Structure 1
Amino acid sequence: MDTLESRELRYFVAVAEELHFGRAAERLGMAQPPLSRAIQQLERRLGVRLLERNRRGVALTGAGETLLHEGRAALDATTAAARRTRRAGGADGSGRPRNRLVLAVKAASSHELLQKLLDAYAAEPGAAEVEVLPSGTCEQGEMLRDGRADVALMHAPFNSLAGFDGEELMTEGQIAVLPAGHPLAARATLTLAEVGAVPGLPLARWSRDGAYPPGPGPEIHDQRQLAQLIALGRTAAVFPESARAWLWAEHAAVPLSDAPPVVTHIAWPAHSRSLALAELVRTATRL
């Protein structure tokens, strides 16, 4: 049997991520015995062992690792299909179909480029409505894969463009954003090591794939929170040069001498056939 049901994939992915049948059953809102039977039936159908079970818990086999990777992608694809179909079938206040694109952007970056893009595209005949969806540091790719976004502004080397089509739009340096009164704010340049080792001024932490990296810095949920914490002298952050556009008077921006350049791309799912998306990309590359 070479076909899999989405229900089977959801069950397996839950067990593979939790590595515990009890926790997976709780996460799925079901009893443990039918979940165990479902996984055993899946293994029999595929003719391979997906999980190694012992007293210490559950571990993935090589085949299980493969199905976890492929299963996540398949579930993302089905979720994305539902979200984009619902978006395409939405209506405006008059009942007419609503032509809309969702653009994911990293919070607090590419402001000038984004404004130019939105203004230029809005001037195009028949332009779709563009909803701008701010995201964390590395969430744009996940938002494209699961259908929350149709297109994204992504930044190499921080974002991976694997699996997406894209066009390069801009290359820029990086800056450290510090409280204006901090002694380092008067420096002409700084290094990444210097910014990461300032006593009492830990670097802010953005969510990556739903989790925050370890460290003493505060967990950041949105741009306004970050701006306020920097102004209060509680944290510092590293951003592309274009982030200067949103800085407050209480902030200082110092160029980083050893940070790699940031390349901004407009990216979209490789299988997209949206005419509105194609026009947005053409507008972006003309800027």
Structure 2
Amino acid sequence: MDGLEARELAYFVAVAEELNFSRAAQRLGIAQPPLSRAVKQLERRLGVVLLERTSRKVALTAAGQVLLDEGRRALEGLSAAARRAQRAGSPAPRLTLVMKAVGDGGMLPDILAAYAGEPDATAVEVLFCGFGEQADLLRSGSADVGLLHGRPDLTGLDSEDLLVERQVAVMPVRHRLAGRAAVTLADLDGEVMPRWAGLPRGGADGPEVRDAGQLMQLIAMGRTVAVLPESARAYAGGDVVCVPVLDAPPTTMLLAWPEKSRSPALAAFVRAATGAAALRTPDVRPLGPGH
């Protein structure tokens, strides 16, 4: 059997997602008859039925569902490969770093300074994104390396832990707990917590937040309270306070990049970031009652 072609795979994925040949043809910008012929030809080549067709509906078979899942990944991989090749072949090579705003734990200046001393260093473009979008941008080829928090889905990525931080509750200055030296998670029961755009709700019922600037404004307005890494102190204005949370688990900032990457510039950035982190790793022992 000959290898699948990107065009016929894209045709099938469009039909499988729409479950309607007419809508899929419109989405692809082609006529319906050649689309139907292309899908039938694909089924003959594979020797399996991918779609159950009746006069009233189109449904995926088990084989069709597998090809849809794998086909999406394959097409995303092709697009990512094209983007990375275009950047690598640019007359002015650069490394694209993706992170959420103020999501560097205060480390980015140190990392960039260390990177500038690497022999394989190149220009660094910083791409800001919303919460939880970094991994997808890395997998799609839109970025070369990213700063992420917590334990996101790292499928298709390599990673290195950089910084482990204690957590603080960020609240308006007039909040009932604002004068405390420290709080516990139980003290925060009943507080309105933000919902991070693109991430599971996790029981939070507060406003949806897309970036750190928006979050700090909502906190200052008294609309929400958030538990954030201790480095958030650097970005807190005078209208909010940061109170240590004694029993909140430490949170990790990590560096991630596409697995099996062989870019010398990327390898140099990873070295610089881990070296800077080794000099900055803070004490993350549990806070005592007097802190």
TM-score (norm 1): 0.82
State the one-letter code of the partner of 1:85. A
CA distance in 1 between counterparts of 2:68 and 2:117 reads: 44
Provide the secondary structure at the position in 2 that maps to 1:111: coil
1:278 to 237, 256, 267: 267
Contact in 1 for aligned 2:99/2:126 (Cα 8 Å): yes
1:207 to 198, 223, 241: 198
Farther off after superposition, 10-19 or 127-136: 10-19
Contact in 2 for aligned 1:212/1:219 (Cα 8 Å): no
Partner of 2:250: 261
CA distance in 2 between counterparts of 1:217 and 1:275 reads: 44
Correspondence 1:1-287 to 2 at 5 A: 1-54=1-54, 57-90=57-90, 97-157=91-151, 159-187=152-180, 188-191=182-185, 194=188, 197-198=190-191, 201-208=192-199, 217-287=206-276
Farther off after superposition, 1-10 or 270-279: 1-10
Report percent identity of matched pairs. Answer: 54
Instruction: Rate the CA distance shift 1:130–1:63 in 2: closer, same or farther, 3 A.
Output: same
Farther off after superposition, 184-193 or 81-90: 184-193
Query: 1:275: how far off?
Result: 0.6
CA distance in 1 between counterparts of 2:33 and 2:127 reads: 41
Deviations 1:40-80 (A, max 9, x none): 22222211222334577444333223222221221122111
Contact in 2 for aligned 1:179/1:233 (Cα 8 Å): yes
TM-score (norm 2): 0.81
Query: 1:102: how far off?
Result: 0.5
CA distance in 2 between counterparts of 1:22 and 1:59 reads: 14
Instruction: Rate the CA distance shift 1:44–1:204 in 2: closer, same or farther, 3 A.
Output: same
Contact in 2 for aligned 1:204/1:235 (Cα 8 Å): no
Contact in 2 for aligned 1:103/1:151 (Cα 8 Å): yes
Query: 1:286: how far off?
Result: 1.5
Instruction: Rate the CA distance shift 1:165–1:26 in 2: closer, same or farther, 3 A.
Output: same
Query: 1:257: how far off?
Result: 4.5
Provide the secondary structure at the position in 2 that maps to 1:124: coil
Farther off after superposition, 166-175 or 72-81: 166-175
CA distance in 2 between counterparts of 1:154 and 1:203 reads: 18
Aligned residues: 275
Instruction: Rate the CA distance shift 1:66–1:185 in 2: closer, same or farther, 3 A.
Output: farther
Provide the secondary structure at the position in 2 that maps to 1:264: strand
Instruction: Rate the CA distance shift 1:48–1:273 in 2: closer, same or farther, 3 A.
Output: same
Runs of at least 5 residues in structure 1 that lack an aligned partner in the other structure: 91-96
State the one-letter code of the partner of 2:261. S
State the one-letter code of the partner of 1:176. A
Runs of at least 5 residues in structure 2 that lack an aligned partner in the other structure: 277-291
Contact in 2 for aligned 1:155/1:265 (Cα 8 Å): yes
CA distance in 2 between counterparts of 1:20 and 1:236 reads: 45
